[in-house]
């Protein structure tokens, strides 16, 4: 059988109306309603809001978690199982759910608090760089205080995170095909998130993690693990640590993975992986039509 990894996208993959077509599936509406009860606001109303409410960090992360976990449930009900799982930032929470580390409600509770803390982080800035010299960038980051490599997505695309002055200094000092400041509330995946991370740790600490049913490749450490405490420790480091997606992508073939299924809206992760590992078969499952195509 083809050895398969499921990967889960994070913030930035959301879209107005995502997941609404899944309401045709048995049990989908009940899951949306259960999530809304736990969150205290309507997931379906938020997703369908024409004002793009779903792109507000406070709502983006729980909505993505709900839609992606619903897709996980349907895939498993139809007999599919991954051999490895990984998620990009918020997506790691869905990866842990898919691996059986905690139940749906537990994961959603963690994501709800994470989103609240991150939406309140008003200090700092993030910017994406595309088409650059990696040695030049790393040298500039080394020489510039208060800015770090937040997302190492692939060889030609990264995100930096830090104070506005430090991010501006790197953008001005590194030649890149494109540099874009991101519309986010704070310097995610950087030491500037330390206060939020400390608050989140108090929420995470009492939560019981189970041994993963399949190995998980974590953002801060791409080596696969099934150990509950290891996975929990890695998740605790995630808010201030870098998303090492390029290394996760490179690790997949080392694990014998031949096929990668991006479970969630859009195709961000398959696009990133394609540039890193050209021989992997890439599949997207984010809509009802894509789900039925895989099942067929």
Q: What is the pLDDT of residues 214-230, one digit of tens each?
A: 999 999 999 999 999 99
**10 and 88 in contact (C-beta within 8 Å)?**
yes
Active site positions, annotated: 89, 189
Single out the residue in 139, 160, 181 at which a domain terminates.
181
* pLDDT tens string 75-134: 999 999 999 999 999 999 999 999 999 999 999 999 999 999 999 987 899 999 999 999
79 and 49 assigned to the same domain: yes
35 and 159 assigned to the same domain: no
12 and 59 assigned to the same domain: yes
Query: What is the number of structural domains in the chain?
Result: 2
Q: Whole domain around residue 44: which residue ranges?
A: 4-120+190-295
Neighbouring C-beta atoms of residue 55, cutoff 10 Å? 16
Distance from C-alpha of 134 to C-alpha of 100, rounded to nearest angstrom: 37
Distance from C-alpha of 113 to C-alpha of 203, rounded to nearest angstrom: 8
177 and 197 assigned to the same domain: no
pLDDT at 241 over 60: yes
Distance from C-alpha of 240 to C-alpha of 40, rounded to nearest angstrom: 28
170 and 73 assigned to the same domain: no
**245 and 262 in contact (C-beta within 8 Å)?**
no
110 and 19 assigned to the same domain: yes
Concatenating the DSSP letter of every residue in 72-116 gives: HHHHHHTT---SEEEESTTHHHHHHHHTTSS-HHHHHHHHHHHHH
266 and 130 assigned to the same domain: no
User: What confidence score (pLDDT) does residue 1 get?
Assistant: 82
77 and 197 assigned to the same domain: yes
207 and 271 assigned to the same domain: yes
CATH assignment of the domain containing 79: 3.40.366.10
* pLDDT tens string 135-189: 999 999 999 999 999 999 999 999 999 999 999 999 999 999 999 999 888 899 9
CATH assignment of the domain containing 176: 3.30.70.250
DSSP 8-class letter at 225:
B
131 and 102 assigned to the same domain: no
67 and 100 assigned to the same domain: yes
Distance from C-alpha of 233 to C-alpha of 15, rounded to nearest angstrom: 31
User: What is the side-by-side strand order in the sheet with 176-181?
Assistant: 147-154, 157-162, 125-132, 176-181
Distance from C-alpha of 49 to C-alpha of 45, rounded to nearest angstrom: 6
* pLDDT tens string 248-278: 999 999 999 999 999 999 999 999 999 999 9
User: What is the side-by-side strand order in the sheet with 259-263?
Assistant: 216-217, 84-87, 4-8, 259-263, 281-285
Single out the residue in 157, 181, 205 at which a domain terminates.
181
* pLDDT tens string 188-201: 999 999 999 999 99
User: What confidence score (pLDDT) does residue 184 get?
Assistant: 86
pLDDT at 296 over 60: no
User: What confidence score (pLDDT) does residue 295 get?
Assistant: 63
- Rounded to 5 degrees, φ, ψ at 265 are -70, 145
């Amino acid at each position: 059988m083809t050895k398969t990894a499921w990967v889960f996208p994070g913030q930035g993959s959301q879209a107005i109306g995502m997941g609404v077509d899944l309401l045709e599936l048995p049990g989908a509406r009940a899951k949306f309603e259960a999530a809304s009860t736990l969150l205290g606001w309507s997931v379906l109303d938020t997703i369908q809001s024409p004002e793009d409410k779903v792109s507000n960090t406070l709502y983006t992360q729980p909505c993505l978690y709900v839609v992606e976990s619903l897709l996980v449930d349907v895939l498993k009900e139809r007999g599919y199982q991954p051999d490895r799982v990984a998620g990009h930032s918020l997506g790691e929470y869905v990866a842990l759910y898919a691996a059986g580390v905690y139940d749906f409600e537990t994961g959603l509770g963690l994501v709800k608090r994470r989103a609240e803390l991150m939406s309140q982080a008003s200090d700092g800035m993030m910017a994406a760089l595309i088409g650059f010299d990696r040695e030049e960038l790393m040298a500039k980051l080394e020489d510039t205080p208060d800015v770090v490599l937040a997302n190492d997505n692939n060889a030609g695309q990264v995100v930096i995170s830090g104070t506005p002055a430090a991010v501006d200094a790197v953008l001005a000092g590194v030649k890149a095909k494109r540099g874009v400041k991101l519309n986010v509330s704070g310097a995610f995946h950087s030491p500037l998130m330390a206060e939020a991370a400390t608050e989140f740790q108090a929420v995470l600490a009492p939560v019981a993690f189970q041994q993963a049913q399949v190995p998980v490749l974590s953002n801060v450490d791409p080596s696969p693990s099934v150990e509950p405490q290891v996975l929990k420790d890695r998740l605790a480091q995630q808010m201030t640590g870098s998303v090492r997606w390029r290394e996760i992508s490179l690790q997949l073939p080392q694990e014998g993975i031949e096929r990668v299924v991006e479970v969630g809206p859009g195709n961000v992760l398959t696009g990133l992986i394609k540039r890193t590992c050209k021989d992997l078969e890439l599949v997207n499952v984010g809509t009802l039509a894509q789900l039925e195509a895989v099942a067929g």
